[in-house]
Amino acid sequence: MGVLQFEVTATDTETAARTGRLTLRSGTVQTPLFMPVGSRGTVRGLTPPQLRECGARMLLANAYHLALRPGAEQVAALGGLGAFMAWEGPTLTDSGGYQVFSLAEHREITEDGVSFRSPVDGTELFLGPAECMRIQNMLGADVAMVLDQCPPYPCERPDVETAVERTLRWSAACRQHHARRDQALFGIVQGGVYEKLRERSARATVKMGFDGYAIGGVSVGESEELRRGAVRATAPLLPEGRPRYLMGVGFPLDVVRAIGEGMDMFDCVAPTRMGRNATAFTPDGRVRLRNSACGRDEGPVQHGCGCLCCRLYSRAYLNHLFRCGEMLGPILLSIHNLAFYNSLMSRARRAVAEGRYAGFRDRFVERYLEGETTT
């Protein structure tokens, strides 16, 4: 492989937190980093320049959704994912493994792969390792993910073990079918909440030799305690010299805690989805802009935030936009939330570099939880 370069640039003195420099075909990014989710080739409501202004440097798209519409062939004909969505920077495509979990009513799993029936128009799509790699090779993201089976929670141990073994077989096949020399390929560790299965999955996946490694199968219904336990058990088993990606986990407390366990990359729909639903993230917890108190508040969403939303608009104005159903409200709060997340990443990197991440994490968690209890 070798298309990816990753250098650990600093480590914390009291935790497993670290900073790094990740170089891919389309550019270099600093870790820890947060990737906004643009499943269908767009982060809803935001343009690439707006995403850049928010601090985003790498985006995630979904192979399953893009294979359905407009089709991987169409994206390839238009220059690949980055050119298609006018994003000048690194990209990552999820394999569709998460849809094995989220579209359980519309799919059938066999040893060969997964047959999906689109909940939108009934379109059928089969994803096996060969098809998954063909689609992601055509989309042309900087990073592709192996096809995995993501079990739900709760799930009995024998069923999770089956998913682990199937994911390992699919991972090996994906590695064989991956054809682009300029595209990195990440393996995915499964295992649910079962520590021994996580260990089995991690050791076998690492042995295959991928460019990076992801922890999958978390944030699928389990408690915060179980989720944190799965990350704590898995992260130390992943190579120090490769990027570590925690898939689909992205609420602020989850992120700062996972950084302390040594994770480097994150994605989640939370910043934009919550923004579309009138909720803002701040260091003092969430602010719900539909609340009547916000309708009289002349202040910004977050004092000291330099994003477009906070520079120009008051909570009262945002309250008005959401009450009227105006589309500007979700756009502005999505901008703020992504700017908040990327500022959090920047502050975390600085804390690691200065050897004070444990204190940074603990103060952030304390302040955030205190704000949550008083709003």
Active site residues: 94, 267
Torsion of CA 353, 356, 361, 364, to 10 degrees: -100
126 φ, ψ (degrees, to nearest 5): -105, 130
Helix/strand number for the chain, H first, E second: 15, 16
Pairing, β 113-117 against β 27-31: unpaired
Task: Confirm if 100 and 109 have CB atoms less than 8 A apart.
Answer: yes
Kindly give the interhelix angle for 357-374 and 252-260, rounded to the nearest 10 degrees: 160
Helix, coil or strand: residue 227: helix
Indicate the residue type of 275: G
Sign of the CA dihedral with 49 first, then 50, 52, and 53 last? positive
Give every CB contact of residue 191 below 8 A, 6+ residues apart in sequence: 160, 164, 197, 198, 199, 200, 201, 202, 217, 230, 234
Task: Confirm if 45 and 309 have CB atoms less than 8 A apart.
Answer: no
The tokens of 107 are what? 């799919």
Task: Confirm if 276 and 330 have CB atoms less than 8 A apart.
Answer: yes
Give every CB contact of residue 267 below 8 A, 6+ residues apart in sequence: 34, 35, 36, 37, 60, 92, 247, 248, 250
